[in-house]
Structure 1
Amino acid sequence: MLVNRFVSQRSLYTVPEFVAKNLPKVYKTQEQYDLVAKEQHGKLVEDLNQKVAQTIFEPLSPIELMERLRNDKTKVHIFNNCSHLINNHLFIENILPPVKPVSIDNKIVKALFDIYKSESLEDLCRKLKTEMNQKLIGQGFFYIIEEGNGKISTLFSNNQGTPLISTAGLKFQDLDLNGGILRPNDYKNYNDRLRSVKVALNEKAKVKASSKKNIEEGQIPGSDLKILAIINLWDYAFIKDYGIGNVARETYFENCLAELNWDVVLKRLEI
């Protein structure tokens, strides 16, 4: 379970205790870490409790809620809450210091070197920072994922986007037209992405129309993508320690990549 529960008069989601002997190296202060792992995470948990209290959704776990509500436009606020909660949980787990040092010389890093044509972690970080600035305007997350065919790849998603649900990429939320002043090339990228979304929606409609059997609620097949690592790129995840602006976010992002707990990441690969 990603979110623990206890039972009183009704089931409540509770904030997990993220146990670490030392402060994650990516953070400079306990205050910043507590903001991410306790205050903000606690708010996400409290918000979810309020949204599902005394409803038919109350007994469901966050991932079950996402599966149930993925196509319900009236419940987007619950879906996004669950997505953000799960993303932040996985992020905290993979930046907690490992019990013992783990080598970065592993199949995931080697796959990333191959994808980005890099021979060093420094060069990989530089290329990923460039990609982040091109693809992420505003809040979001960075993922290292494993596809259904075993291929390792990366993904940036805006806001509370997630690769867990939609194989068509419709839940990545990588279209954010509320993010500041856009450069000319940004509008072209958005236009290309909108075209891709329209194609995916049309294909989805064709599949649904040709289906002889309606899929029962809650049994909609999930994505074949597996999250291996997440970096939280929302402002609250770094603003107290690093400040604001692209340079601050780049420094924080680079530190997160350098301090990923590969023990946790590699165990997710085995699941």
Structure 2
Amino acid sequence: MLSRVISKRSLYTAPEFTATVLPPVYKTQEQFDLVRKNQHAHLVNQLNAKVCQTKLEPLTPYQIMEKIRDDKSKASLFNTCSHLINNHLFITNIIPSGEVIEENIVQQRLLDHYQVGSMDEVIEKMVTAMNDSIIGQGFCFIIEDANGDIVPIFSNNAGTVIADSLDLKYMDVDLNGGLLGVKDYLKLYDRMHNIKRSLNRKEKDKRNNVFGSKEGKIEGSHNRILACVNLWDYAFIKDYGIGYKAREEYFVNCLKNLNWEVINQRYNF
């Protein structure tokens, strides 16, 4: 009985995201508080309600996602964890920093990826990609992929590129919602088929027996999130309004006001 009490952890709580000034991306304190306080606390409460008195209760959101990612009956819990983590990453890389970045490695590598000379050109291309990829709600990530390239990637709804609980390594396909656009799914049919096979329990056991547990992981699972932008309506609607033009204006302001100190710390971690 004592061991059960000791191993029991307290409820998840919403962290205090402190900011001495309003992030430039936001026009009102009300909108910023909706993202960092109201919605974040709502997601935390949802997670507590779903894991209370279950075997998942002692686990972190990362660990929960890793454990249930191939269980379709747990899709709602998976998406709550995903949304919570995504919003946390977004808040921490949108709060401005007082430090000056002497060498912005991530930004330079993003310029190299697009083969352009300015962030304005990068932003223009990313806005086009967002409109092609996001159907309704979603997130934008800047990641370091398995090849070491710095690239943007978009997810619909609470889609993620997650999860390995040991660090920020992520799957490149959301297994409980849309990570890629419709055209991308059509182009990558074979890739999706291979992932489906790798999630089959017998197939996973076979791969692990042959290659070992590390090599038996899903191919392409070694991506790392460096930046995240919340593209859900609640993240901007009070300040920018509704519609594609409002989302575009908000997205551009996010990309122009990313906290590159935090992003480069994630890269150097």
Matches of 1:26 and 1:84, distance apart in 2: 20
Deviation sequence 1:61-100 (CA, Å, 0-9, x none): 1111111111111111111100100000010000001023
SS state of the match for residue 118, structure 1? coil
Cα deviation, residue 194, structure 1: 4.6
2:148 maps to which residue? 150
Alignment of 1:90-109 (within 5 A): 90-102=89-101, 106-109=104-107
Relative to structure 1, the CA distance from residue 155 to residue 189 in structure 2 (aligned partners, 3 Å threshold; closer, same or farther) is closer
Match of 1:174 among 178, 181, 191: 178
Contact 2:160 2:174 in 1 (8 A): no
Aligned structure 1 segments of 4 or more residues deviating by more than 4 angstroms:
186-190, 203-208, 213-216
Cα deviation, residue 170, structure 1: 4.2
Relative to structure 1, the CA distance from residue 61 to residue 251 in structure 2 (aligned partners, 3 Å threshold; closer, same or farther) is same
Cα deviation, residue 210, structure 1: 4.6
Residue-pair matches, total? 252
Match of 1:192 among 183, 187, 190: 187
Cα deviation, residue 15, structure 1: 0.7
Say yes or no: does 1:242 pair with 2:246.
no
| RMSD across aligned positions (CA) | 2.8
Match of 1:255 among 235, 250, 253: 253
1:266 maps to which residue? 264
Alignment of 1:1-271 (within 5 A): 11-102=10-101, 106-165=104-163, 167=171, 169-171=173-175, 173-174=177-178, 188-194=183-189, 196-202=191-197, 205=200, 206=203, 208-212=205-209, 223-271=221-269
> Normalising by the residue count of structure 2, what TM-score does the alignment of the two structures yield?
0.84
Contact 2:154 2:179 in 1 (8 A): no
In structure 2, stretches of 5+ residues that fail to align are 1-5, 164-169
Contact 1:139 1:233 in 2 (8 A): yes
- State the one-letter code of the partner of 2:11: L
Matches of 1:37 and 1:60, distance apart in 2: 23
> Normalising by the residue count of structure 1, what TM-score does the alignment of the two structures yield?
0.83
Relative to structure 1, the CA distance from residue 42 to residue 198 in structure 2 (aligned partners, 3 Å threshold; closer, same or farther) is same
Relative to structure 1, the CA distance from residue 25 to residue 155 in structure 2 (aligned partners, 3 Å threshold; closer, same or farther) is same
Deviation sequence 1:78-136 (CA, Å, 0-9, x none): 11100100000010000001023436x62211111122122111111111101111111
Matches of 2:156 and 2:123, distance apart in 1: 20
- State the one-letter code of the partner of 2:117: E
Contact 2:236 2:250 in 1 (8 A): yes
Matches of 1:56 and 1:90, distance apart in 2: 26
Cα deviation, residue 151, structure 1: 2.1
Contact 1:44 1:85 in 2 (8 A): yes
Contact 2:139 2:231 in 1 (8 A): yes
Contact 1:91 1:229 in 2 (8 A): yes
- State the one-letter code of the partner of 1:124: V
Aligned sequence identity (%): 47
Matches of 1:175 and 1:99, distance apart in 2: 33
Matches of 2:199 and 2:56, distance apart in 1: 26
Deviation sequence 1:128-155 (CA, Å, 0-9, x none): 1011111111111101111244321211
SS state of the match for residue 11, structure 2? strand
